[in-house]
């Protein structure tokens, strides 16, 4: 684990990363890669905040293709927060069972009831209110703000951290890197000025398709020359 550093040093390192040649390459080539390699999911075709929030809760620690196979059926059965709030946990349990996510039934019903009771059945548009919802942490809240409302906010999960760690050589000092405020700060400074949805989707898809946990596709990566880890992986694959 790296030695602890001052906040001033962290700010300087963040600044260096954000305005580096590496960062410029990352933004440009991710966008280029995404144009021809993006994945298509129903929740990306809507701006309905509830549908997007529902998808993000279902996607937590779950493969996107697994959710995609049943997402429309679940949404049709519970099309609004009100419909979900009045459903029994058993009904939601049965709807989620084919996804292998039945244990999330109580959380989803509780979330919907808070939306109805505290927000008139609408998804709130601020981070503090979103993270107060049952089952919603900072990642889901940020993803909802970005994908539903077009907010210029970063997303940081284990997949995004994997890209940043390999590409920039960043190592979090926190026990739970996805909660590391410095990583969130770095992710925020790396955001492009526009097309935020596409940029964040590109990070998600690139991690799923190219910068995978095992056997990343370094040979075909558009950013291999700038990546701090590509040489290591290419050597291992020889």
Q: Domain coordinates of the chain in residue numbers?
A: 7-39+153-237, 42-149
Local structure of residue 179 (DSSP, 8 states): G
Catalytic residue among 42, 45, 48, 56: 56
pTM score, whole prediction? 0.90
Catalytic residue among 93, 139, 167, 199: 139
Q: What is the pLDDT of residue 231?
A: 78
Rounded distance between C-alpha atoms, residue 54 and residue 172, angstroms: 30
105-110: Cβ within 8 A, 24+ apart: 107/57, 107/134, 107/135, 108/54, 108/57, 108/84, 108/135, 109/84, 109/85, 110/134, 110/135
Catalytic residue among 50, 93, 157, 167: 157
Which residues in the chain land under pLDDT 50? 1-6, 8, 12
157 given a catalytic annotation: yes
Does the 42-149 domain belong in CATH 1.10.340.30? Answer: yes
Q: What is the pLDDT of residue 90?
A: 97
Which CATH architecture does the domain made up of 7-39+153-237 adopt? Answer: Orthogonal Bundle (1.10)
Q: What is the pLDDT of residue 75?
A: 98
């Amino acid at each position: 684990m790296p030695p602890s550093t001052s906040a001033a040093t962290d700010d300087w390192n963040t600044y260096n990363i954000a305005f580096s040649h590496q960062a410029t390459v990352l933004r440009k080539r991710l966008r280029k890669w995404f144009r021809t390699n993006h994945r298509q999911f129903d929740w990306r075709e809507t701006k309905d905040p509830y549908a997007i929030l529902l998808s993000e809760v279902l996607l937590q620690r779950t493969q996107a293709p697994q959710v995609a196979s049943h997402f429309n059926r679940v949404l049709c059965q519970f099309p609004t927060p009100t419909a979900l709030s009045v459903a029994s946990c058993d009904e939601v349990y049965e709807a989620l069972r084919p996804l292998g996510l039945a244990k999330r039934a109580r959380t989803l019903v509780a979330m919907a009831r808070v939306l109805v009771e505290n927000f008139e059945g609408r998804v709130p548009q601020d981070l503090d209110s979103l993270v107060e919802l049952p089952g919603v942490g900072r990642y889901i809240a940020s993803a909802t703000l970005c994908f539903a409302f077009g907010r210029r906010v970063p997303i940081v999960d284990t997949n995004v951290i994997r890209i940043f760690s390999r590409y920039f050589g960043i190592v979090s000092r926190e026990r739970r890197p996805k909660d590391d405020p410095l990583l969130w700060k770095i992710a925020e400074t790396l955001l492009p000025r526009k097309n935020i949805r596409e940029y964040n989707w590109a990070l998600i898809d690139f991690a799923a398709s190219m910068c995978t946990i095992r056997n990343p596709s370094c040979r075909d990566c558009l950013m291999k020359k700038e990546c701090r880890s590509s040489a290591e992986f290419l050597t291992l694959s020889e």
